[in-house]
Chain A
Amino acid sequence: MRKLLALLLLLAGSLATAQEITVAAAADMSAALPQLVEAYTKKTAQSVKLSFGASGNLTNQIRNGAPFDVFFSANEEYPQQLIAEGLASKETLYRYAVGRLVLWVPADSPLDLSKLGMNALLDPSVKKISIANPATAPYGRAAAAALRHFAIYDQVSSRLVVGENVSQAAQFVESGNAQAGLIALSHALTPAMKDKGRYWTVPLDAYPTLNQAAVVLSKSKQQDAARRFLEFLRSPEAASLLTSYGFSLPAEKH
């Protein structure tokens, strides 16, 4: 009898957590999204599990049946691809922000970013430049595009080191192993990096716009809970949190 009770309790426990939703999110949200979730959970008692990675990697995982309910991508193309493949629902697609690429150097760097801009990377003291993997990370693609825009790609390509996603690119330069990095503004503004370095915001016309887009996945068994969470993104509370991490909102014009 006691065993049966224990079993029932276990079952009840697993039923309770079945309400949890799982969000796969682009690495540039690694600081902002946990705070959004905290605010959301406090309000609605809905618990949300987070899994971060390069948007391309996550897309590939979703294609192979990863059990995510919502996908936050650092560009709009990956969600569009999933929609075209029937893996995400079109009407839930929401462009919630625009991400910014920055050139970041550690505080002890001698480079004057405001004067040099992107050309700071040509300085001989810059031996390694960290970027995210252009094959799978939208920020990596943006970084490569920006280097081409300023016509310095060929000069610096031998010094590029490639992070698996934009968080790793940020970690490479934050730890001092690279002397400069092209990373997400949302990382440069985290408490962990804010005081450790300086950044220069790469102009928007230097790379394709990093439209941040979220979508509910078709295979999710919790469509309603997932949609409600996306609805929360439109609230002023979520918006102010996102802007505090350097994301510009879709309504704003630049």
Chain B
Amino acid sequence: MNWQAFWLTVRLAAIVSTLLIAIGIPIAYWLTYSRWRWKFLVEAAVALPIVLPPTVLGFYVLVALGSRSPLGRWWESLTGHTLAFTFEGLVIGSLLYSLPFAVQPFATSFGAVDRQLLRASASLGHSPLQTFRRIVLPLSKAGLVTGFALSFAHTLGEFGVVLMVGGNIPGVTRTISIDIYDQVQTANYSSANQTALVLLIISFVVLSVVYGANRRPWAVGPWR
């Protein structure tokens, strides 16, 4: 078990899912309440990483954000290094990669809040922002937990993007999934087995949190 790779991956996933709360809530808010007729295009763009192969994201991070592109040069002049082969590069790649896993549960739970409550809140003199903070957010707790947990778990299991832009640097970009891949490729099955088992357990626990948060104890079937 490579603990360095393990903690690196946990750190990556924690940073990414926390940032996605900050980035995802405004996007989800806009997606829920905007009446713009072309909104569906933005919805489609946000959902893209679900269907795009991770290699496409990896390719863009490597080439479109590499030192040959204007964007990459701008980043380089700012930080002194390219995005590829750095922890920040992995964070940016993972933000894109896990975006829909945060935004979609957020937007779903915002949209599920009873509009009557929003109208009541407005009639009592609350601004839309106050209403959102005091009514919508507290009622969307399950959605927020789901989005956080799903983006955490999704980043934990990220492989393709990291393989393409990481450069496999121990302590910087060698994540746990890359470590498993290396162990398998060098026929080090017992070590791969241990690590895989740890990942399996964590993934199960995280998903249990998601389903636990969304549990509806009062649900009754039509046969009752």
CB-CB under 8 A from A172, the residues of chain B are 84-85, 167
How many chain B residues touch the partner (CB < 8 A)?
19
Contact A176 B187 (CB under 8 A): no
Contact B63 A175 (CB under 8 A): yes
- In the assembled complex, A163 has its CB within 8 A of some CB on chain B: yes
Contact B169 A160 (CB under 8 A): yes
A151 to B84 CA separation, bound complex (whole angstroms): 27
Encoded as 1 (CB less than 8 Å from any B CB) or 0, chain A from 225 to 244 comes to 00000000000000000000
CB-CB under 8 A from A75, the residues of chain B are none
- In the assembled complex, B82 has its CB within 8 A of some CB on chain A: yes
Contact A60 B85 (CB under 8 A): no
Encoded as 1 (CB less than 8 Å from any B CB) or 0, chain A from 169 to 189 comes to 000100111100000000000
- A160 nearest CB neighbor, chain B only: B169
CB-CB under 8 A from A56, the residues of chain B are 185-186
A54 to B85 CA separation, bound complex (whole angstroms): 20
A175 to B156 CA separation, bound complex (whole angstroms): 27
- In the assembled complex, B143 has its CB within 8 A of some CB on chain A: no
- B166: min CB distance to chain A, Å: 8
- In the assembled complex, B184 has its CB within 8 A of some CB on chain A: yes
Given A63, A161, A162, A176, which contacts B66 in the complex, CB threshold below 8 Å? A176
CB-CB under 8 A from B63, the residues of chain A are 175
Contact B185 A162 (CB under 8 A): no
- B89 nearest CB neighbor, chain A only: A177
Encoded as 1 (CB less than 8 Å from any A CB) or 0, chain B from 172 to 192 comes to 000000000010111100000
CB-CB under 8 A from B8, the residues of chain A are none
Contact A162 B62 (CB under 8 A): no
Given B68, B167, B182, B186, which contacts A128 in the complex, CB threshold below 8 Å? B167
A128 to B167 CA separation, bound complex (whole angstroms): 10
Known: A175-B63, A176-B66, A177-B66. A161 touches B185 (CB 8 A): no
- In the assembled complex, A219 has its CB within 8 A of some CB on chain B: no
- In the assembled complex, A167 has its CB within 8 A of some CB on chain B: no
CB-CB under 8 A from B68, the residues of chain A are 175-176
Contact A135 B185 (CB under 8 A): yes
Contact B169 A161 (CB under 8 A): yes
Contact A130 B182 (CB under 8 A): no
Contact A161 B82 (CB under 8 A): no
A42 to B163 CA separation, bound complex (whole angstroms): 37
A172 to B21 CA separation, bound complex (whole angstroms): 33
A161 to B167 CA separation, bound complex (whole angstroms): 5
- In the assembled complex, B18 has its CB within 8 A of some CB on chain A: no
- In the assembled complex, B81 has its CB within 8 A of some CB on chain A: yes
Given A60, A163, A178, which contacts B186 in the complex, CB threshold below 8 Å? A60
Contact A133 B84 (CB under 8 A): no
A135 to B185 CA separation, bound complex (whole angstroms): 9
Q: Name which of A160, A163, A177 has the most chain B CB atoms within 10 A of its CB.
A: A177
- B48: min CB distance to chain A, Å: 23
Known: A127-B81, A161-B167. A135 touches B186 (CB 8 A): yes
- In the assembled complex, B168 has its CB within 8 A of some CB on chain A: yes
New contact pairs (12) apart from A54-B185, A60-B185, A128-B84, CB-CB < 8 Å: A56-B185, A57-B185, A60-B184, A127-B81, A130-B167, A160-B169, A161-B167, A161-B168, A162-B168, A175-B62, A176-B67, A178-B167
A-B pairs, 5 with minimum CB distance: A161-B167, A162-B168, A177-B84, A176-B67, A161-B85
